Structure 1
Amino acid sequence: MTQAVTPLSALTPLDWTWRDQQIRYTVQGKGQPLLLIHGFGASIGHWKHNIPALAAQGYQVFALDLLGFGASAKPAWDYSLDLWQDLLRDFWQAKIQQPTVFVGNSIGGLLSLAMLANYPDLCAGGVLINCAGGLNHRPDELALPLRVVMGTFAKLVSSRLTGPFIFNQVRQKSRIKNTLYQVYGDRQAVTDELVEMLYEPSCDPGAQQVFASVITAPPGDSPTELLPKRQHSLLVLWGDRDPWTPIKGSQIYQDLAAQNAGVEFHPIPGAGHCPHDENPSLVNSLILDWLQRLG
């Protein structure tokens, strides 16, 4: 279920320097701060249906492009969940300085959970949308044939000889659209603007090295390791047609919700991996209702 189109031009681009690197961010509204964190390959624009709607209801909504993605710099660094947590911590210190609700999709969801676990003083709560289980799959999570395939792919991607060729194949607009068709439950949400939003940063210098670094990075702490450390309430939303992080993997959150352990869980019917973009009206409503009770 899509809603009226919110143009990307409605999001004012701002820049902040972190470790001598440019970070793109945006902010709207006043009130309780929220920080929105995108998933792999995405950017601020992926929240275009959410930022204005949340800001209009009395919240100060921040969103940023993680280092290596979107309009942020793409240095040849070793990318990891720890690096991005450092970025989020320093961004909070520079721009927010109030207890914040961290909202994330996919890898952004895992980063939000990590912030709650590792930096509780910065946090007021968390919203996880189809939360990833790791930056990459752990070898023991894959069946043997797929483990070999993924291991070979990682080696080819990181090779100076084959990496650029593979990256150029992966980032073709037609392949991006086909991938989105696979992971979005609502194909009408796969617009030309969405494809362009994902394609354009892939043309930046350094984008291929970022891709290779992320693909070969360690998975980081798992939700199972992070959840016992959190001190704040969680809202967990999950598209029930997600093939990347299937809803069966959300059982740990459903169990905590059933135990009234500070977790609220809602499936998003018919949505895939990005329900905030596929059914923003429902997702925004659930977030706002939860925030009101949290406050």
Structure 2
Amino acid sequence: MDALLKLSALLSALLLAAQLSVAPATAQPTSNETAPLGIALEGFAYPYPVFYLERMRDGERQRLAYMDVPAQGQANGRTVLLLHGRNFPSSYWQPVIQALTRTGYRVLAPDQLGFGKSAKPVGPYTFDAMSADTVALLDSLGLARVDVVAHSMGGMLAVRLVRNAPTRVNSLVLEAPIGLEDYRFTVPPVSDATLLRLEGDATAESYRRQLMTNYALSLPASAVEPFVSLRERVKGSGEYPRWLQSFVNSYQAIWGQPVVHEIPLIQVPTLFIMGENDHNAPGKPFAPEALRAGMGHNAEHARTLAGQMPSGRAVVLPGIGHLVHMEATDQFNTLTLEFLDGH
């Protein structure tokens, strides 16, 4: 009897220990907005459910995160693909998603590999690979053709997407795209080591100032606080060095893989929506001082390029910077919907 009691006590202790050992893994994500985040933004809520597509990159299994939001009310049978910028997760598209779905569009908003809730590759980025990932996502969902709305770096990806897979894109909206000039002509190569040091040294204040100043935002500083907070919180992850390397790799792609020379070759109807005050030009601080003033004339570049395209048009919004869909939400949504509905 004593042996049975001892065995029972031992089994109870082992069961309790096992329960305690799994508790941290099954705990709910913290609601503390200053707590560290995983580099795939684990614990940070997106406005719509997030799904994943398995991909291979750098010899590793990767997961591409995306939101797939159905149309509200009467669906029009069309899907809009939203392509985010370098400094932003796809969650920042929420006001655009709301406007599109209300008017019958299905919306697909992925985080490219290296961004947001997607895995973080450590090898070099290419817009061709990102384009292939995007086509694979469309294939997985049975989407033969989509309309594309792309912001900032997403505009460079959109150019490569429509060039590599022209039958998959019906029309194109480029919101404050970068890559409207070839940065190699003004900015010398910058080593990964230098970029890792500079990005690693960035503080919340310096990053906040970078967003507000480089993007010439008409928004209050509080509007960029969620992006500043995300960047600060991933510093607490054990995989932060991987996030940092991945982020640096995206700069090298922007600098070394220009798309401006391909823009006049785009055949699909294209609308540029530009902020008049947006003079953002990646790598500008590294350029010789004599050349900096000639960089980032984005509204002017958009007008020129639109005029060289078979079906291009540029609209420039006065007093607006780089985050057009957040700075002038109603104007942006109206322009986008009128353009999409017309094609």
TM-score by length of 2: 0.72
In structure 1, give the amino acid aligned to 2:319: G
User: SS in structure 2 opposite 1:114?
Assistant: helix
Matched-pair contact (CA < 8 Å) for 2:267–2:310: no
How far did 1:137 drift? 5.7
Farther-moved stretch of structure 1 (178-187 vs 211-220): 211-220
Cα gap change, 1:208/1:265 in structure 2, threshold over 3 Å: closer, same or farther?
A: same
The match for 2:298 is 249
The match for 2:111 is 65
Matched-pair contact (CA < 8 Å) for 2:155–2:178: yes
* Residue number among 321, 331, 339 corresponding to 1:272 in the alignment: 321
Cα gap change, 1:251/1:90 in structure 2, threshold over 3 Å: closer, same or farther?
A: same
Cα gap change, 1:240/1:247 in structure 2, threshold over 3 Å: closer, same or farther?
A: farther
The match for 1:4 is none
The match for 2:244 is 208
How far did 1:259 drift? 7.5
* Residue number among 228, 245, 257 corresponding to 1:220 in the alignment: 257
2:99 and 2:163 map into 1 onto residues whose CA distance is 28
The match for 1:138 is 183
User: SS in structure 1 opposite 2:185?
Assistant: helix
How far did 1:102 drift? 1.4
- Number of matched pairs: 272
Cα gap change, 1:38/1:199 in structure 2, threshold over 3 Å: closer, same or farther?
A: farther
The match for 2:226 is 193
Cα gap change, 1:71/1:29 in structure 2, threshold over 3 Å: closer, same or farther?
A: same
* Residue number among 17, 21, 24 corresponding to 2:65 in the alignment: 24
Matched-pair contact (CA < 8 Å) for 2:267–2:309: no
Give the 5 Å matches for 1:160-179: 163=196, 165-170=197-202, 172-179=203-210
The match for 1:281 is 330
The match for 2:212 is 181
User: SS in structure 1 opposite 2:342?
Assistant: helix
Matched-pair contact (CA < 8 Å) for 1:29–1:60: yes
Based on CA coordinates, which of the two structures has the bigger radius of gyration? 2
In structure 2, give the amino acid aligned to 1:176: Y
How far did 1:16 drift? 1.9
| Percent of pairs with identical residues | 22
TM-score by length of 1: 0.82
The match for 1:37 is 83
2:45 and 2:340 map into 1 onto residues whose CA distance is 25
- Which structure ranks higher in relative contact order (CA pairs < 8 Å, sequence separation ≥ 6)? 1
Query: What do residues 113-132 of structure 1 show as CA deviations (whole Å, max 9, x unaligned)?
Result: 22122211111011101111
1:252 and 1:174 map into 2 onto residues whose CA distance is 31
Matched-pair contact (CA < 8 Å) for 1:45–1:197: no
2:227 and 2:173 map into 1 onto residues whose CA distance is 23
Matched-pair contact (CA < 8 Å) for 1:154–1:215: no
How far did 1:200 drift? 4.2
Farther-moved stretch of structure 1 (268-277 vs 234-243): 268-277
The match for 1:15 is 52
The match for 2:14 is none
How far did 1:190 drift? 2.5
Cα gap change, 1:72/1:207 in structure 2, threshold over 3 Å: closer, same or farther?
A: same
2:235 and 2:112 map into 1 onto residues whose CA distance is 14
1:166 and 1:260 map into 2 onto residues whose CA distance is 38
User: SS in structure 1 opposite 2:122?
Assistant: coil
Cα gap change, 1:248/1:192 in structure 2, threshold over 3 Å: closer, same or farther?
A: closer
How far did 1:9 drift? 4.6
2:236 and 2:138 map into 1 onto residues whose CA distance is 29
How far did 1:83 drift? 1.7
